[in-house]
Structure 1
Amino acid sequence: MTNEEQRTPGEEPSGDEVPAAGSEANASGPVPQEPGEADAELTVDDILSAEQNADAAEAEGSEDADPESQYLEDLRRLTAEYANYRKRTEANAALEKQRAIAAAVTPLLSVLDDLDRAEQHGDLAEGSAFATIAQKLRASMERLGLSSFGEKGDPFDPQLHEAIAQVPVPGTEQHTVLDVIERGYRIGDVELRPAKVAVAVGADG
């Protein structure tokens, strides 16, 4: 007769008795897991959470460390940006002003050319009414910022001069302005026209 058959009703099994496989005790107990399975899942979550917390703590720490320095740095950056913007705005405004004056003055350049020709032919006698008018007109143009360029003896510069003639001159090593037919004019950085010149070149070409 087995131990189960000899047990009286209501009697608890002794500690020496081992429950049979598949009994209720085993069914209701914890299910064993593979070693490290739960730990692996927790470790991934913990790592992600730890990284997020570390980034947040670092950002918060940098802000709390010295907020005044951050504000000063932002202020310096904004001040530099505003200074650059102001310089660009002022430069553009000045250039637009020069262009507007140039558009108004350009039609008068032919009058200045006539005065130059009259002066070369001796028609602007000093003290004459015509000479006085020419002087006032030139002074008015200068007050508007008009300046001329192109003089005899200047080195020839294709950026400034328009060569309408080339004259072979013995002994010439560098192309130079031999004669000025029409002066060049500019207002500030705005060129109204190049100077029309005759260029002295070497006798050999």
Structure 2
Amino acid sequence: MTNGNTPSFDAEENAIQAEIEAERLAEDSEENWDNNTDSRMAPTEAEAAADALQDASAQITALTEEVEVLKDRLLREMAEMENLRRRTAKEKVDANKYAITSFAKDMVSVGDNLDRALQSLPADIRANAADEIKNLFDGVELTNKDMLNIFDRHGIKQVNPVNEKFDPNFHQAMFEVPNPEVVAGTVLEVVQIGYAIGDRVLRPALVGIAKGGPKTAAPTHATAPEAGLGNSVDTNA
């Protein structure tokens, strides 16, 4: 009996051992597969991460460039707005300053007539004239002074540049006077007084200028330039 049961027991034991070995091999195979899969997947994930990082860097670069472009555009537009504001403010000031230009040009001829009236009566005749004539002359003189004061309040100045350097912006040369002792280009005579409003000429002064003299004035020991050489307009007004 004993010998008859031994083969059956051995077969069963062998079957169990075979099953255990099969499970072990299956586990080893699964583990090896997982390891191989991990080893194959790792480079792919690294490449994907590198690509994502490269894409993000490219996007950051593009956004940075766009920000710089927008910043530059904003600064330009702000500068243009500031220039526009200054230009508009200047135009407003100029509009107020020069609004009466046409009227002032017409009034200049009135001033000329008043000057002619005052010059028509010499001082000696006036001193011996009747009271009515004196009163009339005084009235014309006061009217002329009032008109000049009104001109001054509105920025209108006379251009009377005797002994000053010729300025083509405000003077019109009518003739030249040979004079070797005076700097060439000096205004020696004013034929007709000019007028200006602000830094714009209303009417140029008609003048005679010196020629034949030195190009520059001889140096002097004066500490300050001589004042009161004329009543020309201040072009910086």
TM-score (norm 2): 0.53
Indicate the residue corresponding to 1:45 in structure 2.
52
Q: Tell me the residue number matched to 2:93.
A: 94
Which amino acid is the alignment partner of residue 41 of structure 1?
A
> 1:128-151 CA deviation, whole Å, 9 max, x = no partner?
233333333333333332111222
Residue segments in structure 2 that go unaligned for 5+ positions in a row: 1-13, 61-77, 127-133, 215-237
2:112 paired residue number = 113
- Deviation of 1:196 (Å): 1.4
Cα separation, 2, equivalents of 1:49 and 1:173: 77
Pick the structure with more helix per residue.
2
Distance 2:204 2:188 in 1: 16
User: What's the RMSD between the two structures over aligned residues?
Assistant: 4.3
Deviates more, 1:189-198 or 1:38-47: 38-47
Out of 14, 18, 23, the position equivalent to 2:21 is 14
Query: Superposition pairs for residues 1-205 of structure 1, below 5 Å?
Result: 12=19, 14=21, 31=37, 32-33=39-40, 36-46=43-53, 85=85, 89-122=88-121, 127=135, 128=137, 129-202=139-212
Structure 1 Cα separation of the partners of residues 51 and 157 of structure 2: 78
Q: How far apart are the structure 2 equivalents of 1:130 and 1:52? A: 84
CA contact (8 A) 1:180 1:198 kept: yes
SS at the partner of 2:52? helix
Contact between 1:154 and 1:176, CA under 8 Å: does it hold in 2?
yes
Partner of 1:151: helix, strand, or coil?
coil
What displacement does 1:50 show?
Answer: 8.8
- Check whether the contact 1:102–1:190 (CA below 8 A) recurs between aligned residues: no
In structure 2, the CA distance between the partners of 1:188 and 1:43, relative to structure 1 (3 Å rule), is: same
**In percent, how many aligned pairs have the same letter?**
24
For residue 112 of structure 1, give the secondary structure of its aligned residue in structure 2: helix
C-alpha separation in 2, matches of 1:161 and 1:14:
123
How many residues are paired up?
A: 166
Gaps of 5+ in 1: 1-6, 54-77
Work out the CA distance in 2 between the residues paired with 1:181 and 1:155.
16
The alignment's TM-score, normalised by the length of structure 1, stands at 0.60
The CA distance in 2 between the partners of 1:18 and 1:167, in whole Å, is 128
Computing the radius of gyration over CA atoms, which structure comes out larger, 1 or 2? 2
1:150–1:161 CA contact under 8 A, matched in 2: no
CA distance in 1, matches of 2:187, 2:148: 24
Alpha-carbon shift at residue 88 of structure 1 (Å): 5.2
Q: CA deviation at 1:201?
A: 1.0
What amino acid is aligned across from residue 188 of structure 2 in structure 1? Answer: L
- Aligned residues of 1:177 and 1:197 also touching (Cα < 8 A): yes
1:43–1:158: structure 2 CA closer, same or farther, 3 Å change rule?
same
